[in-house]
Chain A
Amino acid sequence: MAAIEMKHIVKKYGDGFPAVNDVSLDVADGEFMILVGPSGCGKSTLLRMVVGLEDITSGDMVIGGVRVNDKAPRERNLSMVFQNYALYPHLTVFENIAFPLRLAKMDDGEVRRRVNEAADVLELHEHLERKPANLSGGQRQRVAMGRAIVRQAEAFLFDEPLSNLDAKLRGQMRTEISRLQRRLGITTVYVTHDQTEAMTLGDRVCVLRKGKIQQVASPRELYEQPVNLFVAGFIGSPPMNFLPATVDGARLTTPFGTIDLDERRAAAVAGRDLLLVGIRPEYFEDASLVDEAKRPLGTIFRARVDVTEWLGDQQYAYIPYEAPDAIRTQLRDLSKELDAEELRTQAIVSIDSTSRIREGREADFWLDTRKVHVFDPHSGDNLTRDADAGAELTRMATEDRLEQVGEARERSAGAQTGGAQAGGARSGSSRVGAP
């Protein structure tokens, strides 16, 4: 296992267009790093430069302390997981996992040791001697993971592995991958365009836009302290609402009434003209259901509800608002860039599922003003980001990770001295038949 260091990586194609533009990123040993962004952001190209599929125009790719720019994919000792899902019907589950090692002519004892170890992690032990036809869908995927594990690669790489699975299997696989990475404590780089995958899997998430890194941080830091409009709009589902606002001292005026900023945030936006306020859906509530003690922490406003969506455990209300043309254009461009469909001049507001707010009627809403961010509509910069608070969130996530990786290594050290179960003789079945 090894750290992956990317130093000023640039990828230019024949036409001179930089698909990846000066990316520097360190993936720590044992860390689960997500590369995320809309299509065309350069995430897959970057991963392919790690693997060795794409030439690097300039910069250094360092894996485990060794510069690998000129090394062939094979020599980098990385595992692209789920590259090969195929299950071979006449081979036992054991041999379905072992075959990459057989091809490398590894001695039988070592093959056995590695496959048994992988089977322990994957809970496939009792199936090792069976044919894959008897496996469930999830178990089949675990066999594919087993192939990656037995190589003892420096790192695992995933290139949108779940994008073609149905929703149910996708959810299952997300859990499996997360569990596996934690148990093995192996350095992992995972490419996705899906922010839910990014948020649920990653220790840290690297958000890319047009070949450039926007922000690298823990999911919570990205969510709570995004650096700019792009990150704020990309992370979170339903997405953050952006309202036009004018500023007077510490007071913002928005289509949903006024918002009073604290001293720090007021100072950050002082002297500005037109601004965008970013409010996550869950910072709203049906005013009639807000606790008296909480009420003074926000403001109340009255608005007409266009549509409500009741989902059982949660409920959303859609509230249209007016915005100046300049802001509309800005938001339309952002939606387009984020591959989002809607034009965001209606706010999506999360309200308690017991709320009786009705479509087409006016209602009072409460808005928690403590966590709103204010953005510069031109540069997109988050003017009110609290870098220290953000760093603290990521530091806490790193601490958790180190603890878990430590536990994983202790476990595997224990397993090796404890002696693995015997099993996994090569099999030759006479059964002939289709899968």
Chain B
Amino acid sequence: MRFLFRPPAAEAAGLLSLPWDQPLEEWDEDLLLEVPQRGISRHVVRFTVSDGKVYALKEISEPLARHEYALLGEFEAEGLPSVTALGICFDRPDDQQAILVTRYLEYSMSYRYLFSGPRAGEPDRLLDTLVQLLVRLHLAGVYWGDCTLSNTLFLPDAGTYTAYLVDAETAERYPTLSVGKRAYDIELARERLGAELMDLQAGELLPAELDPVEIANSLPGRYEALWDEVTREEVFRVDEQAVRVAERLQRLNDLGFDVGEIELVTSPEGARLRVETRVAEPGQHRHELFRLTGLEVQEKQALRLLNDLRSYRAYLEQRTGGLVLEEEAARRWLTDVYQPVVRAVPEDLAGRLEPAEVFHEVLEHRWFLSERAGFDVGTWAAARSYVQNVLPRTPAVLTTPSVIAAHRAAPAETPA
């Protein structure tokens, strides 16, 4: 047998003791982790834990495993939202297929939950998220070939979602994508989306007001609109160029894209604007928050947390009557505000939402309570009320696998 791992993969060492020579289907249950709310897969897929981290193992033919491993590596390097591949195992005995190991995307949600759970009823938002992923991939020259909800995971991001590609088996990479390839990719996505939603409907898992056919058939239009917005060339009068450029950049940011370079060509007839949209997810706020606090969160969550940090800094300055350095404010915000809120989550509710998302929801809850009370109730009261009244409504099935695994290791604290 042979193992191929991409450094840094010290974490892989713990995985090496697994029985790779045996078919995944025959692995001892004790080695595996049951992960709820999975999509449809035509391969044998299992999950395992090592050093508190969760991994997905998929049995596929060696050429496909190598192909997917290489592509996921490229995607990661370029900042495309995809799961990351840890390695592959091949040359297994008895001509068995290879196994691709990917890192589990903690706190992610599947479409099955999002379209049928308590948060259902926002198909527009989910669809726009999926379309954003597809546009990002197409900009990067990636033909997906199997854009489905099953192959996508959604990470909550301050009340919205970021879509991650989970399966790159059929994906192909080109310098640029032909119009035909893009059109075909969308056509495949439309059909599969429709089938997956019809499947939920047949299983009585889809709210009655959602029509699979309407939702699926709206995908191509949404895609075209976004693609046009991020790629089109604009022509306008020279005297309005400053305003128009600013407007365009703002619109692209609002749509979740960063601009790498803008090209402006002026002539007596007017100005022509061409933007080069970055394929990587925007990360300005994430990087800023990480620099200040060491927290790794999604982009919109980061903006939310930074805003709270800034208001906390203002409060400190008002209280001390002097300047408080940003770094100092960040340290105190982390220990005095963020961590206490996150720790307010009791053990039996742990792992249902990412800590940063909990914090975001507490801030939302604080606004809601304050509106009702007519005065600012403060973050602490909001956090107490939130863990009592709001968080329990997030079902246990969403508990992220690494927390399930931690509980399993310490069974006395099994969640209800």
Contacts and interface: CB of A to CB of B under 8 A. Distances in A.
Contact of A73 (B187, B201, B203, B213): B187
Given A86-B148, A86-B192, A164-B64, A431 B203 contact: yes
A354 B205 CA distance: 65
Contact of A91 (B150, B190, B199, B216): B199
Contacts of B188: 83-84
Nearest to A435: B40
Q: Is the interface of A mostly helix, strand, loop or mixed?
A: loop
Which interface residue of B63, B150, B192, B203 has the most chain A CB atoms within 10 A?
B203
B173 interface: no
B200 interface: yes
Contact of B199 (A51, A89, A103, A431): A89
Contact of B195 (A52, A73, A88, A430): A88
Nearest to A429: B202
B48 to A, nearest CB: 18
Contacts of A434: 38
Interface in A295-333: none
A102 B203 contact: no
B42 interface: yes
A434 B213 CA distance: 23
A364 interface: no
Interface string A40-74: 00000000000111110000000000000000111
B198 A91 contact: yes
Contacts of A52: 180, 183-184
A268 B201 CA distance: 71
B394 interface: no
B181 interface: yes
A54 B205 contact: no
Interface string B183-226: 11001101110111011111111000000010011000000000
Contacts of A435: 40
A164 B66 CA distance: 13
A320 B410 CA distance: 68
A99 B195 contact: yes
Contacts of B64: 164
A72 B40 contact: no
Interface in B25-77: 38, 40, 42, 60-61, 63-64
A86 B64 CA distance: 17
Q: Is the interface of B mostly helix, strand, loop or mixed?
A: helix
B198 A84 contact: no
Interface residues of B, number: 35
A91 B202 contact: yes
A430 B180 CA distance: 40
A14 B175 CA distance: 9
A100 interface: yes
B375 to A, nearest CB: 46
Nearest to B64: A164
B203 A429 contact: yes
A271 interface: no
Contact of A90 (B181, B184, B202): B202
A103 B205 contact: no
Interface string B140-158: 0000000010100000000
Nearest to B216: A103
Contacts of B38: 434
A294 interface: no
B7 to A, nearest CB: 29
Nearest to A103: B194
Interface in A74-106: 74, 83-92, 95-96, 99-100, 102-103, 105
A320 B196 CA distance: 59
B318 interface: no
Contacts of A83: 188
A257 to B, nearest CB: 42
Contacts of B284: none
Contacts of B179: 55, 72
A91 B212 CA distance: 13
Given A89-B199, A95-B198, A427-B202, A84 B191 contact: yes
B199 to A, nearest CB: 4
B347 to A, nearest CB: 28
Contact of A51 (B184, B195, B202): B184
A131 to B, nearest CB: 9
Interface string A255-287: 000000000000000000000000000000000
Contacts of B198: 88, 91, 95, 99, 102
Interface in A158-175: 164
A422 interface: no
Interface in B223-271: none
Nearest to A428: B202
Given A53-B184, A54-B178, A428 B204 contact: yes
A413 interface: no
A432 interface: yes
Contacts of A53: 178, 180-181, 184
A100 B60 CA distance: 27
A88 B183 contact: no
A108 B273 CA distance: 49
A161 B187 CA distance: 20
A73 B204 CA distance: 34
Nearest to B201: A428
Contacts of B150: 86
Contacts of B187: 73-74
Contacts of A429: 202-204
Given A85-B42, A86-B192, A72 B183 contact: yes
Contacts of B175: 14
B42 A73 contact: no
A102 B183 contact: no
Contacts of A51: 180, 184
Contacts of B216: 103
B56 to A, nearest CB: 16
Nearest to A87: B40
Interface of B: 38, 40, 42, 60-61, 63-64, 148, 150, 175, 178-181, 183-184, 187-188, 190-192, 194-196, 198-205, 213, 216-217
10 contacts: A51-B184, A52-B184, A54-B180, A55-B180, A72-B183, A84-B191, A90-B203, A91-B195, A431-B203, A432-B203
Given A89-B199, A164-B61, 4 more contacts: A88-B196, A105-B213, A430-B204, A432-B205
